[in-house]
Amino acid sequence: MPHHRTVAVLVSNEALSAVLAMVLAASPWLRVRPFHSDLALSVYMRMAPVDCVVVDFDSQAVRGDLIVRALRADPGIENRRFIAIALAGEVAPETRARATAGGIDEVIVKPMSPRYLLERVLARLDRQPAQRPYRARLPENVIPLFPRPEPVLPA
């Protein structure tokens, strides 16, 4: 993985969120952004691309499959082809069906080692093609004073 990838972590337990973010951030290829609410995550994803989202499937506030479904359906998010990994207490047939319908790519059963999550995130990102550099879309009433040249991408 030659360039940085961004991983968003949305887990309801703050202690678990901090531990997961710390372990994921130990990788030199990952930029980790922890979030405390689905609203904060969706606002961030409208401004900056995210390659992988880690959500808590069993969250008390909003279930993980509903969060991922809303993110994938949001027209304001530039990259809706992110990888979604959910952490669940158990993988019952109902959980499996909801995860599939919600667009979750992988479910990891809790409790798990944070290092295992790191391995799964890196493995998934290795299979995903790199994104184009993000260019924020300016509203029609904004004129850029110092326009940047378009980046040259290898073919």
Predicted pLDDT at 66: 92
pTM: 0.78
Q: How many CB atoms lie within 10 A of CB 120?
A: 18
The pair of structure tokens assigned to 111 is: 């409790």
Q: How many CB atoms lie within 10 A of CB 125?
A: 18
* Number of residues assigned to the chain: 155
Closest residue by Cα to residue 88 from 117, 53, 121, 59: 59
More confidently predicted of 135 and 100: 100
Residue range 110-123: mean pLDDT, rounded: 92
Between CA 71 and CA 41 the distance in angstroms is: 9
For the chain, what percent of residues have pLDDT higher than 90? 47
Closest residue by Cα to residue 45 from 16, 17, 81, 18: 81
Chain segment 4-51, per-residue pLDDT in tens: 899 999 998 889 899 999 999 999 989 999 999 999 999 999 988 899
Domains in the chain: ranges and CATH: 5-127 (3.40.50.2300)
For the chain, what percent of residues have pLDDT higher than 70? 83
Predicted pLDDT at 152: 61
Chain segment 71-110, per-residue pLDDT in tens: 999 988 888 889 999 999 888 888 888 888 888 999 999 8
Using CA atoms, how far residue 95 sits from 90, 111, 130, in Å, is 8, 16, 30
Task: Give the alpha-carbon dihedral of 135, 28, 81, 46, to 10 degrees.
Answer: -40
